[in-house]
């Protein structure tokens, strides 16, 4: 078959665009991925104990975008799931995002009552405040609390995760986990919070299951012998790699995932435990059965050890949102602009943006509407 479109990458971005082209334009699409599976970083599969695990770290779906929810719901049923996280701070387990229960766990009743009163006066109930904003408070009690949270919940975790000072990162990074003025202990507060009933990979199989779509795995873009024969190429891999790093490497963070299976039904109380302290090398530990509600006499957990990205050793998981990297990104965007008639750069790695899954879907849908249809 002759394909009009080549899509490089079978993650969310690539799969969504492929499906839209196949269905709405009735055009043949070839999707390639250098890994030996579809689903990109959302790939899941059963481990040796039959427990559904996420190969590239825990993926929890949440969105406020109706178009994203409606699109994916054509390909999967859902299990409602609200993610909850406990963090180990001062040898105690506290809810993260840091909330009123966290205050009551860490401080005496008298202190907690005063702090909560001041927080409510300053912000109102059931409000989420980024830590960096809370630290600017003129109220002595609020400021002291904010400094405590910054030191004990954010600083060391962020150093471990990014190997940077928090101020070097775009403030949006720390704002992802705001302080909760109130008792809400959910990690996300989006309208839709759910996991695909049979897992991400089954959902991807459905998205890509269309007569106009062919998928070739274990295939690098560099292995494609006839790139000029495609009407358009949509590239979802790292943008700097595409241009052979001609302006220098865009840095990424990588992670080592350690999977541990226990001969017991459950090991922790909630989906994820965060470990902000330097006494632990890992940042968090997730027990998959909390996310999937699977029944199994055993349980598998995943520890995450952040590390520098090295193209020979590991994979580029996180673009690093700093000012310096934005400047370098602009150089690659300028290169991309010159060839935009033939090649489009879309997705977490090609846009070099810290997209959640729903943002990757939204980006794919929007790209199709604006650039293809
Ligand atoms: P990817 O999933 O990275 O897919 C890109 C694909 O392109 C890959 O399969 C890659 O192999 C392929 N590729 C790249 N270059 C080439 C090439 N040259 N030739 C051939 N193939 C190529 N989001 C959430 O919403 N909730 C979460 O809980 C969550 N947890 C996460 C945890 C971790 C540890 C990580 C790393 C990410 C998490 N995310 C989460 C983000 C989520 O993984 C991304 O939003 C999503 O995977 C982005 O999809 P994508 O298609 O843009 O990129
Ligand atoms: N963060 C932190 N302590 C925590 C949780 C998060 O310092 O207990 C910071 C850290 O910098 C992290 C960022 O907030 O990288 C975003 O956290 P999130 O859980 O959203 O990260 P992701 O799931 O994308 O890895």
Residue range 278-291, pLDDT digits in tens: 999 999 999 999 99
CB 129 within 8 A of CB 220: no
- Distances in whole angstroms, Cα of residue 89 to Cα of each of 164, 205, 266, 340: 21, 41, 22, 49
- On whether residue 65 sits in a domain, the answer given is no
Contacts of 267 (CB under 8 A, 6+ apart): 287, 299, 301
Q: What is the pTM of this model?
A: 0.98
How far from chain centre, in Å, is Cα 161? 13
243/335 same-domain check: yes
Where b means 16+ CB within 10 Å and e means fewer, 345-354 reads bbbbbbbbeb
Last residue within a domain, chosen from 141, 166, 181: 181
110/162 same-domain check: yes
Cβ of 178 below 6 Å from ligand 2: no
Mapping DSSP to helix (H, G, I), strand (E, B) and coil, where does residue 318 land?
A: strand
- On whether residue 58 sits in a domain, the answer given is no
Q: Give the mean pLDDT of 224-253.
A: 96
Q: How many angstroms does the Cα of residue 297 sit away from the middle of ligand 2? A: 31
105/169 same-domain check: yes
Helix (H) or strand (E) holding 147: helix 140-149
Residue range 329-342, pLDDT digits in tens: 999 999 999 999 99
Cβ of 161 below 6 Å from ligand 2: yes
220/347 same-domain check: yes
Q: What is the reported pLDDT for 2?
A: 85
- On whether residue 274 sits in a domain, the answer given is no
Q: What is the reported pLDDT for 118?
A: 98
Q: How far apart are CA 256 and CA 272, in angstroms?
A: 16
Cβ of 176 below 6 Å from ligand 2: yes
Q: Ligand 2: which of 148, 174, 277, 304 to mutate, most ligand atoms within 8 Å of CB?
A: 174
Q: Give the mean pLDDT of 258-272.
A: 98
> Which ligand 1 atom lies nearest to the CA of residue 62?
25
CB 275 within 8 A of CB 282: yes
Q: What is the reported pLDDT for 1?
A: 61
110/165 same-domain check: yes
Residue of minimum CA distance from atom 10 in ligand 2: 158
**Ligand nearest to the backbone CA of 304:** 1
> Which ligand 2 atom lies nearest to the CA of residue 354?
24
Q: Half-sphere exposure of residue 17, counting CA atoms within 13 Å on the CB side? A: 32
Q: Give the mean pLDDT of 190-215.
A: 98
User: What is the tally of structural domains in the chain?
Assistant: 2
Q: Which domain, by its residues, includes 231?
A: 5-38+208-248+320-372
Residue of minimum CA distance from atom 8 in ligand 1: 40
105/177 same-domain check: yes
**What average pLDDT does the structure give for the chain?**
97
Closest residue by Cα to residue 262 from 221, 231, 222, 303: 303
């Amino acid at each position: 078959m002759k394909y009009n479109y080549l899509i490089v990458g079978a993650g969310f971005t690539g799969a969504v665009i492929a499906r839209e082209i196949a269905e709405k334009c009735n055009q043949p699409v070839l999707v390639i991925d250098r890994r030996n599976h579809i689903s990109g970083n959302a790939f899941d599969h059963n481990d040796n104990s039959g427990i559904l695990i996420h190969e590239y770290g825990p993926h929890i779906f949440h969105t406020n975008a109706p178009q994203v929810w409606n699109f994916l719901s054509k390909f999967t049923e859902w299990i409602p799931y609200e993610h909850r996280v406990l963090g180990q701070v001062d040898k105690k387990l506290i809810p993260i995002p840091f909330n009123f229960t966290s205050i009551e766990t860490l401080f005496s009743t008298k202190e907690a009552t005063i702090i909560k009163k001041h927080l409510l006066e300053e912000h109102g109930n059931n409000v989420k405040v980024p830590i960096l904003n809370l630290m600017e408070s003129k109220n002595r009690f609020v400021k002291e609390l904010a400094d405590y949270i910054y030191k004990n919940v954010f600083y060391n975790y962020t150093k471990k995760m990014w190997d940077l000072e928090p101020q070097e990162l775009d403030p949006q990074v720390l704002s992802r986990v705001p302080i909760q003025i109130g008792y809400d202990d959910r990690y996300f507060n989006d309208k839709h919070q759910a996991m695909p009933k049979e897992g991400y990979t089954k959902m991807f199989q459905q998205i890509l299951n269309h007569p106009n779509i062919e998928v070739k795995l274990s295939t690098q873009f560099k292995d494609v012998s006839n790139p000029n024969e495609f009407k358009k190429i949509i590239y979802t891999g790292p943008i700097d790699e595409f241009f052979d790093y001609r302006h220098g490497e865009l840095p990424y963070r990588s992670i080592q995932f350690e999977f541990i299976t226990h001969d017991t039904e459950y090991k922790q109380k909630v989906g994820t435990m965060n470990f902000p302290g330097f006494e632990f090398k890992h940042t968090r530990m997730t027990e998959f059965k909390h996310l999937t509600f699977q029944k199994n006499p055993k349980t598998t957990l995943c520890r995450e050890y952040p590390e520098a990205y090295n193209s020979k050793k590991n994979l580029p998981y996180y673009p690093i949102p700093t000012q310096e990297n934005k400047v370098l990104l602009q150089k690659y965007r300028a290169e991309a602009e010159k060839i935009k008639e033939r090649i489009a750069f879309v997705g977490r790695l090609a846009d070099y943006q810290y997209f959640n899954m729903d943002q990757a879907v939204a980006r794919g849908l929007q790209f199709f509407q604006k650039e293809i249809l």
